Amino acid sequence: MAEDPKDAAPARPRGGFFAKVRRGLFMTHTEILEKLGTAVKQGLGIDESVLESLEEALLSADVGAETAGALTDAVRQRASVATRKDLPAVRAMLLEEIEAVIAKAPKPPARPAVPLFVTFLVGVNGSGKTTTTAKLAAREKAASRSVLLAAADTFRAGAIDQLQTWADRLELPVVRHREGADPSAVLFDALSAARARGVASLLVDTAGRLHTKKNLMEELSKMRRIAAREVPGAPHETLLVLDATTGLNGLEQARRFVEAAGATGVVLTKLDGSARGGIVLAIYRELQLPVLYVGVGEGVDDLVPFEAAEYARALLGDDATH
């Protein structure tokens, strides 16, 4: 296979969550802090105009109206009793409130010790499901687990070949049918193959839309039933893949995936270069789901486990990071 130009590009920054997400979050936090800094300088400490600027800054970072309002109210209440009236004080309060939002969401469950671990990747077309499937497969392989991929996105033109290309590069097997085939049939075959071959990890790339008029959510529910029938407890993990650049518009749709597809965690893609890092908070507060990974590029290594505490600090500009 011809070398992918992305692979030949100069080494991407590596090493830790901060290094990977810094670009995206740097833009977000610069905006928040600039707005806040100006407001604090103009006002006399943490007054209403500063709080308004804070809410506005949070909204522009895409934390969502509800979350921006709740965070600002929390700072308002605390600021009235605060003695320190400076930007670091607002920042510290906000950091605590952000950490509290994250702490309230359910924690990702520990990976069960099962012979075959089944992961579904769900989400709308273009969110990055196929790419994320490949990135997760690479991680599983690196953890010395045997992997099988299921190309169950039979709707999007080219999705099956795209997954196959990744699989070839990673030297991993794929179960595939033709384009337009029944996604549940692909899943059934993949589950059978995984059991027969004693595979440890089955990653299922699902469709964001269907060929038929059949409802996508019904199809995903059916796939869940098939998985559970064939492998007890499956799917063990259902990852909702969300594109950070579509911002809050995606959240309404995301709710349907949580309800109907039983999403257990989120992978937030395209955080590289997006100034919308605040969406992580909207996901925690409004979907009540943990973010498990963030995508920071198109390469197979561009997936990093989400670090909530580091994220909160990076969002508000951690002095140690730059």
Output the six-digit token pair for 220.
């995903």
Q: Report the residue from 194, 296, 314, 315 that binds ligand GDP according to the rule CB under 6 A.
A: 296
What residue is closest to ligand GDP based on CB? 295
Residue 201 is given by DSSP the state E
Pick out residues in 1-60 that bind ligand GDP (CB under 6 A): none
* Pick 127 or 154: Cβ nearer ligand GDP: 127
Q: Least distance in Å: CB of 164 to ligand GDP? A: 13
275 binds ligand GDP (CB under 6 A): no
130 binds ligand GDP (CB under 6 A): yes
Contact pattern for ligand GDP over residues 96 through 125, marking x by CB under 6 A: ---------------------------x-x
Q: Report the residue from 131, 154, 206, 238 that binds ligand GDP according to the rule CB under 6 A.
A: 131
**Alpha helix stretches (DSSP H) within the chain:** 5-8, 16-42, 48-60, 65-79, 87-104, 129-142, 159-170, 183-197, 216-230, 249-261, 279-282, 308-315
Contact pattern for ligand GDP over residues 158 through 197, marking x by CB under 6 A: -x--x-----------------------------------
Q: Residue 240 and residue 292: Cα distance in Å, rounded?
A: 10
127 binds ligand GDP (CB under 6 A): yes
Q: Least distance in Å: CB of 248 to ligand GDP? A: 18
Contact residues for 267 (Cβ-Cβ < 8 A; gap 6+): 121, 128, 132, 239, 240, 241, 242, 291, 292, 293, 294, 295, 303
CB-CB contact of 242 with 269 (8 Å)? yes
295 binds ligand GDP (CB under 6 A): yes
238 binds ligand GDP (CB under 6 A): no
Taking alpha carbons only, the member of 261, 281, 254 closest to residue 215 is 261
297 binds ligand GDP (CB under 6 A): yes
Phi, psi (degrees; rounded to nearest 5) at 208: -95, -15
Residue 269 is given by DSSP the state E
286 binds ligand GDP (CB under 6 A): no
Q: Least distance in Å: CB of 233 to ligand GDP? A: 26
* Pick 23 or 85: Cβ nearer ligand GDP: 23
* Pick 8 or 110: Cβ nearer ligand GDP: 8
The sign of the dihedral angle between the CA atoms of 171, 173, 179, 182 is negative
Q: How far is CA 19 from CA 30, 128, 242, in A?
A: 16, 21, 21
Q: Residue 21 and residue 207: Cα distance in Å, rounded?
A: 28
Q: Report the residue from 156, 195, 222, 255 that binds ligand GDP according to the rule CB under 6 A.
A: 156
* Pick 64 or 123: Cβ nearer ligand GDP: 123
Q: Which stretch binds ligand GDP (CB under 6 A): 56-64, 108-116, 184-192, 292-300?
A: 292-300
CB atoms closer than 10 angstroms to residue 214: 12
Cα separation of the two ends of the chain: 39
Pick out residues in 243-272 that bind ligand GDP (CB under 6 A): 269-270, 272
Q: Least distance in Å: CB of 242 to ligand GDP? A: 10
CA-based radius of gyration for the chain: 21
Q: Least distance in Å: CB of 192 to ligand GDP? A: 24
- Contact residues for ligand GDP (CB under 6 A)? 123, 125-131, 156, 159, 162, 208, 269-270, 272, 295-298, 302
